[in-house]
Amino acid sequence: MTDSATVRTFDAVELELLWRRLISLVDEAAAALVRTSFSTLVRESYDFSCVVTDAAGQSLVQATESIPSFIGTLPETVKHFIRFFPIETLQPGDVLITNDIWLGTGHLPDITVAKPIFRDGRVVAFSASTAHAPDIGGKIRSPEPREVFEEGLQIPPLKLMRAGVTDDTLVAILRQNVRTPDQTLGDLWAQVVALDLMEERLHVLMEQAQLADLTDLAAEIHRRCEAAMRGAIAALPDGTYRSELKTDGLLDTPITIKLALTIQGDTITADFTGTDAQVDRAINCALCYTYAMVMYGVKVCTSPNLPNNEGAWRPISIVAPPGCIVNPQFPAPGGSRMLIGHYLPMLVFGCLGQVVPERVMAACGSPMWGMNQSGLNAAGKPYANMFFFNGGMGGNVQGDGISCLSWPSNVSSTAVEISEHIAPLRFHHKRLRPDSGGPGRHRGGLGQEILLESLSPTPIAVSFLAERTIFPAFGIEGGQDGAPGVLKINGERVDPKRQYVLKAGDTVSLATPGGGGHGDPSARSAAAAARDAAAGYVQDDRRVSERNG
Amino acid sequence: MAASLSLGIDIGGTFTDLVILDPRDGRAVIWKESTTPDDPSRGAITGLKRLLDKGGIAPSSIGRVVHATTLFTNALIERKGAATGLLTTNGFTDVLEIARERKYELYDLFLEMPAPLVPRPWRRAALERLGPDGSVERPLDVDAALREVELLVAAGVTSLAICFLHAYANPLHERMAAEAIARRFPALSLSLSSELSPEIREYPRMVTTAANAYVQPIAEVYLDTLEAALKGAGIPGSLFLMLSNGGLTHVAEAKRAPVQLLESGPAAGALAGAWFGRHAGLDRVLAFDMGGTTAKLALVDDGDPLVAWGFEAARTKRFLRGSGLPVQIATVELIEIGAGGGSIARRSELGTLHVGPESAGAQPGPVCYGRGGTEPTVTDSDLALGYLNADFFLGGAMSIDAGKASDALDSLAGRLGLDATRGAFGIHDVVNENMAGAARVAIAERGRVPQDYALLATGGAAPVHAWHVGRKLGVARVVCPPGAGAGSTIGMLMAPARIDRVASFNQRLADVDWAEASRIFAGLEDAALAVVSATGADMARRDTRRLADMRYVGQGSEITVALPGSLSAEAVLAAFEAAYRALFGRTPPGANVQFVALRLAVSAPMPGSGGMLRLDGLGGGSLALKGHRAVHFPDAGGAVTTPVYDRYALPIGTTLEGPAVFEENESTFIVGPGARIAVLPDGSILAERTP
């Protein structure tokens, strides 16, 4: 791509300066996206990301405040865009869009947009963003759909804007197909604002640094990150390490995920051969999401401080047989893919913990929990909304797991006061769940208990994200399991994978799982045990069997 | 003589700065004393006596005292506050601990979240419930609440936070509880969320209320002690406190809501920037303060520091957003960066040059201090580049080992594949980029461009770095005010009295009840005016601002909009859209607009806040030129023989051309080639980049 034959080089100072500015410009775009977004998913839960890639779609920098899944998926989506829209067919002012679950993030609500950035008549970069739309139509988000067609509107790779002109047909179809047209479109325009901002800042940066394109800079960034990642992997002993676990799956049929992680020299291969097949429910985890979750787990253990970009991922490859639940094929639904996907970093820990036990933790009370609602609000207008609730983190070699923290995702909980404004529901409590942390030298973090009541005179359809109701978060190094989660409607345990309809006065109670313990509980210090007792974190030593009654 | 002088006291963690100003002629005398952490008023009074001696001033001539302190922030950071309890809606006693459920760092398994200010056994439930519109869904059981509080008092709790769900919409239950509790337990300090922070979102509101409760008993004792000590020293003037919002208030208000004082020290610094900026004839100033470990940036528009409606206190990881406690109080907006003279330069794991946020601090300090530091710092590179003078370090009070610093720099440069000069300037350049980057984002978030601003440098290291930071930002003018060490105290003396009040106001613009809005504003104004006028401020010259937090219906973030003089849907919409476009470029088509909160700020100038400044011992000399030395300027291609001036000896009105170096005891101001330089009437040096 470089015009001249000479490759531009960057010394240790210049590279640092340019890198800082790139990070700062994506962070600025992310801040603008949060501030202009309409849905609680972006603004309260940070369910989005922003990235700048080079002209080949290879990521250079990503926003600091993001969630791990999009860090892995977003650059891949940009590469897919380039396959659908070859560079020479792009014009300044084009904005590309898709929510295809295989090209995107594994479920339809995540809308990805990208904008080619031109200098002197040619594409030098892309700015891109993924954000979770408040609604994408279809059956309300739950594990029930049998095929992706039930899950809402599919947007194949298209141009949302063509040379700066919005495709009104596409916008009209979008508006017609979602329950919350103003919010969904509002968020989409907030994403476009972020793309514009990245473009504008990148032009200023390239002008000041006298960069005709980003090819040489990208190569340098990628080379260094790749070398650092390879160095970190090479420091680990070669071998194949295996780990497997069972998830609640479809209640009557648990799902087994198997991972064989091979360290060979400076590469890692994560092989999911032997994992159960895809199912006709929306918990299938598309390969893009699988990839992101594996990368996240590896990075936490090997090189947590490494910047996120293409170079860091190159030494890691994934093998997942087509048709297994971590590489499902069309038209498998994937709306609730995190119910499989959030287990994957735990599996990576299961493997790498065999060589670096000090860098992993016991299992977390994740996948994250959520409650999706759809009905009429107090004003009688249709509303759709999602609440997220988190479980406890696992204990680790340094200390207790943190209570109620989003992991591996990073989705915060919406304020109760905000939730009660949006939804015709009343929270009776939202509090820590005593005795839910797995005992250990370092105890697992606590989950939480939530009790909600419908005040709506009209029915509210609800569905859930709820896992670990059967298989709890396991302890490690002699630590014990956390308490499994419990979901009840009107006091009765219900199948969390189904959809329910609430009438006025109906209650929902959710108890999120606690984290697993780390180390032998008998080694717990007296001071820590006294603290637990005084605070009521631990109230009953009789344990697991009784506490879920 | 009438008591016409003003005294400023700024108690920081290490030093207590004092200044006495005569507002009639601007004469100012400054003094620096070591802080006495066990009883901060002791160090203040010692310093005061020395300052009075230095200036030959009688205590009886001090007409007012203005005070800023980091005491309350430190109590939060060190968790040394009062035994604090919380009374909250039944079912929600764990809100403080469940917090936001979000990691502040994605890849760190060993995160340390901020501990709640109130431990779990002291978080008690009240039987009551309000709906989101403020309607009573379950009446407060006062007797049950009293029984809970009785347990807390028996357990040793001395201060109580009361924060009920949806109390921002209706303070009734919080007030009923407070009245009953105050009758039964008159010694207990009470903090109510509906009074301190009546804003939606229970977690930050509860944190704000708990933080107030946590520092309130300390504030009462401390302020009483200080007032008594001042009286004991023969000072007749009353005491005023610097608030985080950059305004002053009286002691009673400070005792009622000390959470408003958490950022009083930094606010004073920003005010100093504002004052010097105004006197240099600059509308928009980026106040830039850089010390040993951190740099702080504050934006000043039209003479007023920008105020944010919340900040994060007591972070567990100082520079990581999300690792602290969200406090919803009007606060001068400050960006803190891990960049200072002590910031350590290292080879990153990717082979690039990293500078900070790790700092060598004062111990061991930079390599050149010769106290055992081995890793090169920003100060070491500034020395190698000729920006600092080894023979006049801290006014000659400290001897420096330039050779050792140079060895450490060479070794780092070698490891990075750089020659020695590139390595040394690289450190200067990277730390400048870290600060310029933060400034760019802060300015852009307000829809402005850096070129609109002038840079105003205070603190030990900012004048050394300001010229090159300005160059990165495209800023044309850099100002270095005199008395860098006492800048923030001077800011306080110039500060107006100011009170900010907020009320929740959840209405759509399309069908807003303007009479209700006016009633709310009138209530806020009455409350704010009562406090401001009690400070003795010049009410005839007061400034009242009506603002609103607004957003598009469905959005979660608000922008604060200055409301037009006459309230109408059209005018307010126009103001909102203009502000929105300035920030975000475009407005979403067809969206409705709503209010979230109404805000009111009243400020009025304080009598005795001077319009002039004449620091003692400034501008007197005739031997301003001390000599020449080689100073590195990359635009000139390397080291340039540069004149070095004695800052104190420069006559007012002097004009010069860059490059030039201006030395004073606390700092050195570096100006590059091609600059036009002028010494302003207040002693500030203004350097302008020529095109």
Range B326-330 average pLDDT: 91
Contacts 24+ apart (CB under 8 A), B151-156: B151/B124, B152/B85, B152/B122, B152/B124, B153/B185, B153/B188, B155/B83, B155/B85, B155/B121, B155/B122, B156/B83
Of A182 and A468, the structure prediction assigns the larger pLDDT to A468
Range A170-185 average pLDDT: 91
Cβ-based neighbours of B65, under 8 Å, separated by 6 or more: B6, B7, B8, B9, B230, B235, B237, B238, B239, B240
- Give the distance from residue A156's alpha carbon to the nearest chain B alpha carbon, in angstroms: 24
Best A10, A15, A17, A397 member to test B by mutation, with max B CBs in 10 Å, is A17
Of B628 and A543, the structure prediction assigns the larger pLDDT to B628
pLDDT recorded at residue A2 = 43
Best A43, A195, A301, A417 member to test B by mutation, with max B CBs in 10 Å, is A417
Residue in chain A lying closest to B446 (CA): A32
Of B217 and B33, the structure prediction assigns the larger pLDDT to B217
Alpha helices in A132-177 (DSSP H): 168-177
pLDDT recorded at residue B581 = 80
- Give the distance from residue B559's alpha carbon to the nearest chain A alpha carbon, in angstroms: 9
Q: How confident is the model at residue A442 (pLDDT cuts 50, 70, 90)?
A: very high
State yes or no: pLDDT of B391 exceeds 90: no
| Inter-chain touch A24–B585, beta carbons under 8 Å | no
| Inter-chain touch B441–A31, beta carbons under 8 Å | yes
| Inter-chain touch B103–A407, beta carbons under 8 Å | yes
- Among A123-137, B120-134, B597-611, the range with the most confident prediction by mean pLDDT is B120-134
Query: What does pLDDT average to over chain B?
Result: 89
pLDDT recorded at residue B2 = 62
Q: How confident is the model at residue A541 (pLDDT cuts 50, 70, 90)?
A: low
Report the C-alpha gap between A309 and A292 in whole angstroms: 12
- Give the distance from residue A83's alpha carbon to the nearest chain B alpha carbon, in angstroms: 31
Among A108-122, A297-311, B409-423, B445-459, the minimum mean pLDDT is found in B445-459
Among A176-180, B209-213, B533-537, the minimum mean pLDDT is found in B533-537
pLDDT recorded at residue A45 = 67
Of B306, B246, B324, residue with least CA distance to B442: B306
B50-62 pLDDT, tens digit each: 999 999 999 999 9
Residue reference for tokens 């590896």: A298
| Inter-chain touch A20–B437, beta carbons under 8 Å | yes
Instruction: Tell me the C-alpha to C-alpha distance, in Å, between residue B356 and each of A221, A473, B421, B517, B544.
Output: 21, 39, 20, 48, 42
B39-52 pLDDT, tens digit each: 888 999 999 999 99
Cβ-based neighbours of B220, under 8 Å, separated by 6 or more: B189, B255
Q: How confident is the model at residue B241 (pLDDT cuts 50, 70, 90)?
A: very high
DSSP state of B186: T
| Inter-chain touch A402–B110, beta carbons under 8 Å | no
Q: How confident is the model at residue B111 (pLDDT cuts 50, 70, 90)?
A: very high
- Give the distance from residue A345's alpha carbon to the nearest chain B alpha carbon, in angstroms: 12
Among A64-78, A441-455, B343-357, the minimum mean pLDDT is found in A64-78
Range B212-234 average pLDDT: 95
Residue in chain B lying closest to A189 (CA): B588
ipTM of the complex: 0.92
Sheet holding B497-504, edge to edge: B559-562, B543-552, B593-604, B497-504, B248-250, B238-242, B62-69, B5-11, B15-22, B27-34, B614-615
Q: Could you tell me whether strands B248-250 and B238-242 are parallel, antiparallel, or unpaired per DSSP bridges?
A: antiparallel
State yes or no: pLDDT of A365 exceeds 70: yes
Among A362-376, A446-460, A533-547, B512-526, the minimum mean pLDDT is found in A533-547
Q: Which helix (H) or strand (E) holds B688?
A: strand B685-689
State yes or no: pLDDT of A88 exceeds 90: yes
A215-234 vs A12-36: helix crossing angle, rounded to 10: 100
| Inter-chain touch A11–B557, beta carbons under 8 Å | no
Structure tokens at A454: 């419908």
Phi, psi of B440 (to 5 degrees): -55, -45
Among A432-441, B323-332, B361-370, the minimum mean pLDDT is found in B361-370
Q: For chain B, what percent of residues have pLDDT higher than 90?
A: 55
pLDDT recorded at residue B477 = 94
A236-271 pLDDT, tens digit each: 999 999 999 999 998 889 999 999 999 999 999 999
Range A5-32 average pLDDT: 89
Among A544-548, B639-643, B664-668, the minimum mean pLDDT is found in A544-548
Q: Which helix (H) or strand (E) holds B412?
A: helix B402-416
Report the C-alpha gap between B277 and A10 in whole angstroms: 38
End-to-end CA distance of chain B: 52
Range A507-531 average pLDDT: 97
pLDDT recorded at residue A545 = 37
Among A340-344, B323-327, B620-624, the minimum mean pLDDT is found in B620-624
Q: Please say whether the beta carbons of A74 and A128 come within 8 A.
A: yes
Range A216-239 average pLDDT: 96
State yes or no: pLDDT of A549 exceeds 60: no
Phi, psi of A23 (to 5 degrees): -60, -45
pLDDT recorded at residue B556 = 63
* Helix (H/G/I), strand (E/B), else coil: A11: coil
| Inter-chain touch A415–B202, beta carbons under 8 Å | yes
For residue B584, give the nearest of A36, A66, A411 by CB distance: A36
Cβ-based neighbours of B410, under 8 Å, separated by 6 or more: B420, B423
B175-190 pLDDT, tens digit each: 999 999 999 999 999 9
Structure tokens at B476: 């044309």
CB atoms inside a 10 Å sphere around CB A169: 9
Cβ-based neighbours of A314, under 8 Å, separated by 6 or more: A222, A226, A229
Q: For chain A, what percent of residues have pLDDT higher than 70?
A: 96
Q: For chain B, what percent of residues have pLDDT higher than 70?
A: 95
Report the C-alpha gap between B482 and B492 in whole angstroms: 16
Range A184-190 average pLDDT: 90
Q: Please say whether the beta carbons of A439 and A521 come within 8 A.
A: yes
Contacts 24+ apart (CB under 8 A), B521-526: B521/B546, B521/B598, B521/B600, B524/B598, B524/B599, B524/B600, B525/B600, B525/B602
Q: For chain A, what percent of residues have pLDDT higher than 90?
A: 78
Q: How confident is the model at residue B623 (pLDDT cuts 50, 70, 90)?
A: low
pLDDT recorded at residue A1 = 44
> B444: burial class by Cβ within 10 Å (0-12, 13-18, 19+)?
buried
Range A376-390 average pLDDT: 85
Q: How confident is the model at residue B608 (pLDDT cuts 50, 70, 90)?
A: low
Of B111 and B12, the structure prediction assigns the larger pLDDT to B111
- Give the distance from residue A330's alpha carbon to the nearest chain B alpha carbon, in angstroms: 32
For residue B119, give the nearest of A225, A427, A535 by CB distance: A535
| Inter-chain touch B352–A396, beta carbons under 8 Å | no
State yes or no: pLDDT of B540 exceeds 50: yes
Residues in chain A with CB shorter than 8 Å from the CB of B351 are 12, 224
B347-382 pLDDT, tens digit each: 998 999 999 888 887 778 899 988 889 999 999 999
pLDDT recorded at residue B589 = 67
Q: How confident is the model at residue B70 (pLDDT cuts 50, 70, 90)?
A: confident
Return left, alpha or beta for A93; rule: phi > 0 is left, psi -120 to 50 is alpha, else beta: left
Query: What does pLDDT average to over chain A?
Result: 92
pLDDT recorded at residue B29 = 87
State yes or no: pLDDT of A66 exceeds 70: yes
Residues in chain A with CB shorter than 8 Å from the CB of B441 are 24, 27-28, 31
B441-471 pLDDT, tens digit each: 888 777 778 888 999 998 789 999 999 999 9
Instruction: Tell me the C-alpha to C-alpha distance, in Å, between residue B18 and each of A100, B230, B250, B319.
Output: 65, 13, 19, 29
Of B250, B445, B432, residue with least CA distance to B333: B445
Q: How confident is the model at residue B617 (pLDDT cuts 50, 70, 90)?
A: low
Q: How confident is the model at residue B36 (pLDDT cuts 50, 70, 90)?
A: confident
For residue B430, give the nearest of A16, A27, A32 by CB distance: A16
Best B89, B555, B577 member to test A by mutation, with max A CBs in 10 Å, is B555
| Inter-chain touch B102–A31, beta carbons under 8 Å | no
